Every structure is written in structure tokens, then in C-alpha cells.
Structure 1
């Protein structure tokens, strides 16, 4: 069994990558409204501030800050994942282990987490979040991807609207590189 070590810093700011179990599925953008509701429900139960987020078809990246004295990322993610999963009809393949544990086959069990160390680290990870749709070939510019906090950051004056525009020849008709 793997030995996962998490940094528990009350009031910390964290970067996350959370993946679907079947990476070829498009559940996160096809049901973006349900994912947004799952985040809203989790935030109502256990408050946290979403600083930056991008939702891609098969994974998401998020930077959030916990309240002072609170270091519980795990239960927040469990609630987001379970709330989202419960809203979808059962149709995915499930392993015997997942069936025995009464788990859905939507999300990977684990997520990747990084504790933000300082302002430069925060800026680096927020940039990474916002450039991801361009990096994966889903959009020619960060501003073109609708499932992102990028436009909020543009409104705040942090980015120009044309930040992270891909060179036109690098984006194909299907949006892949």
C-alpha cells in the first residue's frame, strides 16, 4: 500500500489536480453545472475560498484557501466528489472492489495536492491553472475556455484578455495539438 503524506496546514492555500477514473470521458464539462453545485454545497458545509479553477473534460485544477484553523482538504474533496457522483445516473464500469465498497467509478480515489509556499508559488500555480485549456488544445486562448476562473482574474486586472494565446498553427480543427 502506498504511503501518502499530506501537509496539514490550517488556513493553508493548496493547489490540486483531481482526475476522472476514465480519462477519456467528458463528464466534468458535460455536467459543469452539477460540478459547480457540488462545489457550492461543499463550500456551504465547510467554507473555503476558490482562488483559481479550471475544469477540463477529464480533470480539474484548483487553488483554494482554507479558513484559519482548518486543515481539512480531504473531507471537502470527498463531499465534492460524492455530491457530483450522486447526481449522475449509474452507467460507468465499476471494478468488483468498487462495487464491494459501494463506490462509483467516476473519480480516481486520490488527488494530487501541493501546499502553496509563497506569493511566487501562488502566481506560478494560478498561471498553470489558467493556461491548462491552451496547453491541452481545448482553446486557442485562455479567455476562450468557459470553465475557468480566468475571466475573473482579467476583471481584477491581473491578466490581459489575450494572455496565453496559442500560436494558430498549433491548434488543430479538433482543438488538439
Structure 2
């Protein structure tokens, strides 16, 4: 049995692996209106820092509740963002697993040599915002510049993160099987490629 529960994926446990540019990370990018300030404040104010697991559980539930514009539920927006992810994949970063939800994205990826993940994510957000305005007339910033990340500590943590990502639409009631969700890597995950990508990231980091 995997020791990581879904509400522990973003835990603050000590990191025992690399944390540099080539680190494999689980990241959540959110729309700017995905987390209402009053509800987010209630979670932070009511729960002390040492109750990290319960904080994460409530935060995940809040994200999946569909607050805000949920622009990513629009097929035209989702397709554009999906296209951006695939365009960045193999260049700025190596994308292992991902899912687009109505108000947020979960990504498991590692920055390629010469890139830092923070820069890659900012570029991704800026590029998608520019294209959304050009192609769909959606103006302004749609993404929160504050994103959540967790460095993957070991192989077990990595596979738990993949399961967490792929099962998010199921947990939210958007589909019955993870493979049914169109904007996800669930139906096409290649385990051999995952291992190859992780090995390459390790090699880059060691170099």
C-alpha cells in the first residue's frame, strides 16, 4: 500500500532529494479567483501550522468546489492551455503527468537544463494569457502568480503524485474513471517514459 494519502502529497515533510533546477515537482497553478479570500482565510486562521494534513484536505476541497470563473471548464480555453503545456514539454520542462480542472491545473514536471521551474511557469502563464486575449478576447491576468509546489522525494512519492493528479476529476465528480477525463495524461501515461524522464532529470542535475 502506498504510504502517501492524497491529503499528504503536499506535506511539509523533510525533502531528502535534489531541490535544484532539475528537481521533479508536483505543482498546482490556480486561476486568480479560484480561492475566495474569505474562505482561504478561514482555513488558515482556524488551523495551526502543525495541522498541515487537515489544511491540505480543506484546501483541495476548496479548489475542487468550483469557485470563481472556472475558465478552464470552457473547451476552447482548456484546449489552448493544453496546447501550451504540450508546446513547453520537451523544451523548457519534461512533463510527466498533468490534469486540467475547471479552476486549476496539477502538473508533475521537472525543468530542463538551463531553465528554472519558476521562470518556466511564469512564461507559461504569460504565454497563455497573451493567446487567450488574442484568440478568445479574454483580457488581463487569469492566473494567480502564487502557485503551490512540492519536490518529489522518492519513487513512491512520485507515483502517489501521479495518482493524485489523475484522480482529481473523479474526486470532484467530473467523471467516473480517470481515463475518461479529456484534459489529462491519465489515458496515455507511459510508465517507461516516466522512468526515462526521471532518469534524465537526475542525470542533468548530477551534471
Same fold (TM over 0.5): yes
Q: Which has the higher contact order (CA 8 A, sep 6+)?
A: 2
Instruction: From 85, 95, 101, give the equivalent of 1:50.
Output: 95
Gap regions ≥5 residues in structure 2: 1-17, 35-67, 193-207
Moved over 6 A (4+): none
The equivalences for 1:22-171 within 5 A come to: 22-23=33-34, 24-30=68-74, 31-43=77-89, 46-67=91-112, 69-70=113-114, 72-89=116-133, 104-153=140-189
What does the per-residue CA deviation read over 1:36-92, in whole Å, with 9 as the maximum and x for residues that have no partner?
Answer: 232244347x4321100000111010100233x556011111111011111223556
The CA RMSD measured in Å over matched residues stands at 2.3
Gap regions ≥5 residues in structure 1: 1-6, 93-103, 158-177
C-alpha distance in 2, partners of 1:50/1:85?
20
TM-score (norm 1): 0.68
What does the per-residue CA deviation read over 1:123-148, in whole Å, with 9 as the maximum and x for residues that have no partner?
Answer: 11111001100111111111211110
Higher share of residues assigned helix: 2
Contact 2:82 2:183 in 1 (8 A): no
Aligned residues: 137
Match of 1:14 in 2: 25
Match of 2:195 in 1: none
